[in-house]
């Protein structure tokens, strides 16, 4: 209910708005398709009617429509509550309408749940899939728009460059730093504000079972060992192959790769503390090992120019954006991977929420396809990690299964 104010005009308007909001949320929760369509399209005076919020629950119309599908607790089949098929049908129509009208797929309610989280929790899996697909569309579009932004900034800078006086030294045009804009970094998404360059300038705490950055974000942790073991086994099934690993971290995957006795083993590592530690541990004198100190962005073009090729490549960096990762596989891998070679990456995109993980798997799959790669996924159960996060700024992994990717050139 609106607080009374001195100005009767404001009070009147506020009450109108509150009533509109409640009417939209009610129509969504009743799956009243005709009324909802009328409200969100024309009748309501609200500027963003498909995204209004209930002040008490934080529910958006999408939350309301999905919550209304929750089965009664005593309506059980084989011990599990199932969504009533008729309610589900009207729920699907309502959710589709809201998405068409611009409802935000990942808005949070006061319980820290997105509409998709809610759908998954109540077992409305068809609704969950609708929201995942909406997320994929939204993220693909956003990634494309970021690309255009980079391009137009670049063009502007070209023009500015031309206009510069001759005495000024030439500097490389700087692109938009997408790492601060994107939502799904490829590894431990410490927090979206951690940029790769900021990370590389920070001091690390390197312990036996973890590496933390200066803000206590987990860079690499021992619990990932099994994932690294399986990734190395898939990439190097036999001895005598040539392998490239990008991001040494705790050296776990490099340890497993070494066990496969590769003919050559190149490692790119950009953080000075990690490079110092790997030398202390004798990595520079292991068989076949070539260490490249620096960012892959600077090292890989020279490797391509020298004609180096690999049977296997692994990519696991930190504080990089999805755009960096996409650049890696769409620009660099083609020049480095043998025709029959395989490559993989640490698949940690969006792993702090199941729906984000599912959305980013599909986004990556589509971009990989566009770049000319097939990808196979293998699910690996991740043990409960509750005790692991002590002293770590935030749990970057909450999903139950790790999806291990193995990529090859398309036939």
Ligand X SMILES: C[S@@+](CC[C@H](N)C(=O)[O-])C[C@H]1O[C@@H](n2cnc3c(N)ncnc32)[C@H](O)[C@@H]1O
In the complex with ligand X, which residue's Cβ is closer, 146 or 316? 316
| Residue of 63, 210, 248, 260 that binds ligand X (CB under 6 A) | 248
Minimum gap (Å) between residue 208 Cβ and ligand X: 13
> Strand order of the sheet with strand 401-409?
289-293, 264-269, 242-246, 310-315, 337-345, 401-409, 373-381
| CB-based burial, 102-132: b 16+ in 10 Å, e otherwise | ebbbbbebeeebbbbbbbbebebeebbebbb
Per CB under 6 A, 220 contacts ligand X: yes
* Distance from C-alpha of 14 to C-alpha of 5, rounded to nearest angstrom: 10
Structure tokens at 348: 């940690």
Does residue 274 belong to the site contacting ligand X (CB under 6 A)? Answer: yes
Stretch that binds ligand X, among 39-47, 135-143, 250-258, 382-390 (CB under 6 A): 250-258
Strands 210-212 and 205-206, sheet pairing: antiparallel
- Binding ligand X (rule: CB under 6 A), the pick from 268, 289, 349, 404 is 268
Site residues for ligand X, window 145-204 (CB under 6 A)?
187, 196
For residue 219, state whether it binds ligand X (rule: CB under 6 A). Answer: yes
Q: What is the nearest approach in angstroms of ligand X to the Cβ of residue 275?
A: 9
Minimum CB–partner distance for residue 315 and ligand X (Å): 9
Half-sphere exposure of 159 (CA within 13 A, CB side): 5
Contacts of residue 255, defined as CB under 8 A and 6 or more positions apart, other chains included, come to none
Which candidate, 332, 278, 270, places its Cα nearest to that of 300? 332
Looking only at residues 9 through 38 of this chain, which bind ligand X when binding is defined by CB under 6 A?
Answer: none
Q: How far apart are CB 187 and ligand X at their closest, in Å?
A: 5
C-beta of 268 vs 351, nearer to ligand X: 268
- 310, β-bridge pairs: 337
270 touching ligand X, by CB under 6 A? yes
Segment contacting ligand X by CB under 6 A, of 29-37, 234-242, 257-265, 267-275: 267-275
Minimum Å gap between C-beta 254 and ligand X is 7
In this structure, what token pair is assigned to residue 264? 């050559």
Instruction: Give me the DSSP letters along 4-36.
Output: P-S-HHHHHHHHHHHHHHHHHHHHHHTT-HHHH
Q: Is 296 in the site for ligand X (CB under 6 A)?
A: yes
Tokens of 299: 């090292």
Establish if 336 lies at the interface with ligand X (CB under 6 A).
no
| Helices and strands, counts by H and E, the chain | 14, 12
Interatomic CA distance for residues 276 and 312, integer angstroms = 25
Residue 228 within binding range of ligand X, rule CB under 6 A: yes
Least separation, in Å, of the C-beta of 181 and ligand X? 17
Report if residue 251 touches ligand X, rule: CB under 6 A.
yes
Does 343 contact ligand X by CB under 6 A? no
Give the residue with the Cβ less far from ligand X, 44 or 186. 186
Give 42 or 208: the residue with its C-beta nearer to ligand X: 208
Q: How many residues bind ligand X (CB under 6 A)?
A: 24
Choose which of 63, 271, 342, 353 interacts with ligand X (CB under 6 A). 271
Consecutive H or E run containing 194? none
The smaller minimum CB distance to ligand X, of residues 117 and 219, is found at: 219
Considering only 126-134, 136-144, 160-168, 264-272, which stretch makes contact with ligand X by CB under 6 A? 264-272
State the minimum distance, in angstroms, from the CB of residue 143 to ligand X: 19
Minimum distance between the CB of residue 182 and ligand X, rounded to whole angstroms? 15
Contact predicate 315/343, CB 8 Å: yes
Min separation Cβ 392 and ligand X, Å: 13
Alpha-carbon span 32 to 41, nearest angstrom: 14
> What single-letter DSSP state applies at residue 173?
P
Q: Which two tokens stand for residue 62?
A: 């999408």
Among 249, 341, 344, 350, binds ligand X (CB under 6 A): 249
Please provide the DSSP assignment of 84-152 as one string: -HHHHHHHHHHHHHHHHTT--TT---TTS--HHHHHHHTT-HHHHHHHHHHHHHHHHHHHHHHHHHHHH
Which residue in the set 105, 128, 283, 318 belongs to the binding site for ligand X (CB under 6 A)?
318
Does residue number 258 form part of the binding site for ligand X (CB under 6 A)? no
Site residues (vs ligand X, CB under 6 A): 187, 196, 219-220, 228, 246-253, 268-271, 274, 295-296, 316-318, 320
């Amino acid at each position: 209910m609106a607080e009374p104010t001195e100005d009767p005009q404001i009070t009147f308007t506020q009450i109108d708005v509150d009533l509109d909001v409640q009417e939209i949320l009610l129509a969504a929760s009743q799956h009243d398709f005709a009324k909802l369509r009328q409200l969100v399209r024309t009748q309501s005076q609200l500027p963003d009617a498909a995204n209004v919020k209930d002040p008490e629950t934080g529910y958006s119309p999408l939350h309301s429509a999905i919550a209304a599908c929750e089965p009664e607790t005593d309506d059980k089949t084989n011990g599990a509550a199932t969504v009533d098929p008729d309610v589900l049908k009207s729920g699907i129509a309502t959710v589709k309408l809201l998405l068409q009208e611009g409802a935000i797929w990942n808005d949070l309610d006061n319980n820290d749940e997105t509409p998709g989280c809610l759908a998954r929790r109540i077992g409305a899996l068809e609704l969950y899939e609708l929201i995942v697909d909406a997320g994929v569309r939204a993220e693909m579009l956003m990634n494309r728009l970021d690309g255009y932004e980079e391009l137009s900034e670049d063009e502007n800078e070209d023009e500015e460059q031309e206009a510069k006086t001759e005495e000024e030294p030439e500097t490389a045009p700087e692109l938009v730093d997408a790492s601060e804009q994107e939502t799904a970094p490829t590894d431990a998404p410490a927090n979206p504000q951690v940029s790769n360059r900021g990370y590389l300038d920070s001091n690390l705490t390197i312990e036996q079972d973890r590496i933390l950055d200066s803000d206590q974000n987990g860079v690499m942790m021992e619990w990932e060992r099994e994932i690294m073991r399986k990734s190395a086994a898939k990439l190097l099934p036999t001895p005598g192959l040539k392998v490239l690993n990008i991001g040494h971290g705790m050296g776990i995957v490099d340890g497993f790769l070494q066990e496969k006795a590769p003919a050559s083993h190149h490692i790119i590592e950009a953080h000075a503390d990690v490079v110092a530690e790997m030398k202390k541990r004798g990595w520079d004198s292991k068989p076949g090992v070539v260490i490249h100190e620096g960012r892959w962005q600077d090292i890989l073009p020279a490797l391509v120019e020298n004609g180096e090729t690999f049977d296997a490549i692994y990519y696991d960096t930190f504080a990089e954006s999805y755009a960096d990762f996409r650049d890696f596989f769409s620009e660099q891998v083609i020049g480095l991977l043998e025709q029959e070679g395989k490559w993989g990456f640490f698949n940690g995109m969006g792993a702090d929420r199941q729906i984000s993980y599912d959305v980013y798997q599909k986004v990556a799959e589509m971009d990989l396809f566009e770049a000319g790669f097939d990808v196979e996924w293998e699910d690996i159960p991740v043990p409960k990690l509750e005790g692991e996060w002590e002293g770590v700024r935030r749990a970057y992994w909450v999903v139950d299964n790790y999806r291990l990717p193995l990529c090859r050139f398309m036939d």
